[in-house]
Amino acid sequence: MLLIVFTFCLMASPCFGDALDAFEGQQGTIKIAGGTAHIPVMREAAKRIMMRYKDISITVAGGGSGVGIKQVGEGLVDIGNSGRKPKPEEIERYNLKMYQWAIDGVGLVVNPKNPVHSITKEQLKEIFSGKIDSWAALGGTDHAIIVYTRDEASGTRAVFWNKALDKGAISTKALFVPSNGAMKTAVANDPYAIGYVSVGHMDESVAPVALDGVTPTLETVKNGQYQIARGLYSNTKGEPEGLTRLFIDYLFTAEGQKIAADKGFIPVK
């Protein structure tokens, strides 16, 4: 009897079940696109699933929140990610089901060489509208401030614009970059840059800037001190089924939530 159990365990290895077991015997593809903040988590989850189960293939593309909602709505992808809650009309038109699996802050960043590490919200608005145009006014070097922003379809921009800029103007001289990754690269390479990026994407290549004394970090977003935050959503058209369902469920398992935490986001569970 023991032998039978043992043999069975070997066949269905690993013996002690984990979150990935749900994918046992499954095959097919999952196409994911949209929010660029989500990408590290999506990639890691996809990698773990595909390493174990060779018959499952998962593709992860970016494009931004607008693209995610649109493509899942049009049926081009199985999961459309967004860094903002889809609008009521989008939910209604595409019959979207939303799954918020993490919370993410959107923080100001500058180049690590920049001595300015703290500004007020008023100063922030004036920087982005172009009224303050030199770092000297903020205690930095006497050089023009180079403002980087995201395109209108970005969820990161939507949150930043609503909660940090209070829907204020953004200068026509501001430079546009198409993703969180591109923002980080741009700021890391430009000593006079200021931009905003998902807190999960922050690393030593950029320096966070405190807003009204609160530095955007995992801790301050988690304990609610840093207010410029949003949910990270994965959306499906209608009730998800099959592999897509399993993938969404996986994001909410202890393992999935740990991936989110490891990548710098705040798990919801």
Residues near other proteins (CB under 8 A) are 63-67, 70, 90, 144, 146, 151-154, 167, 171-178, 185-186, 189-190, 192
CA distance 64 to 51: 27
Give the shortest CB-171-to-other proteins separation in angstroms. Answer: 8
Give the shortest CB-239-to-other proteins separation in angstroms. Answer: 23
Please say which residue, 176 or 252, places its beta carbon nearer to other proteins. 176
Give the shortest CB-182-to-other proteins separation in angstroms. Answer: 8
Give the shortest CB-178-to-other proteins separation in angstroms. Answer: 6
H/E element, 45: helix 39-52
Please say which residue, 144 or 254, places its beta carbon nearer to other proteins. 144
Please say which residue, 69 or 259, places its beta carbon nearer to other proteins. 69
Please say which residue, 177 or 202, places its beta carbon nearer to other proteins. 177
Please say which residue, 100 or 185, places its beta carbon nearer to other proteins. 185
Q: Which residues contact 53 (CB under 8 A, 6 or more apart)?
A: 20, 23, 24, 26, 27
Selection from 217, 191, 41, 39 nearest residue 116 by Cα: 191
Which residue in the block uniquely carries the two structure tokens 């070997």? 10
CA distance 1 to 159: 59
Give the shortest CB-120-to-other proteins separation in angstroms. Answer: 24
Strand-pair partners of 56? 28
Q: Which long-range contacts (CB under 8 A, 24 or more apart) does 52-55 make?
A: 52/20, 52/23, 53/20, 53/23, 53/24, 53/26, 53/27, 55/26, 55/27, 55/28
Please say which residue, 50 or 175, places its beta carbon nearer to other proteins. 175
Strand-pair partners of 144? 134
CA distance 257 to 251: 6
Alpha helix (H) ranges present in 96-136? 121-129
Give the shortest CB-153-to-other proteins separation in angstroms. Answer: 3
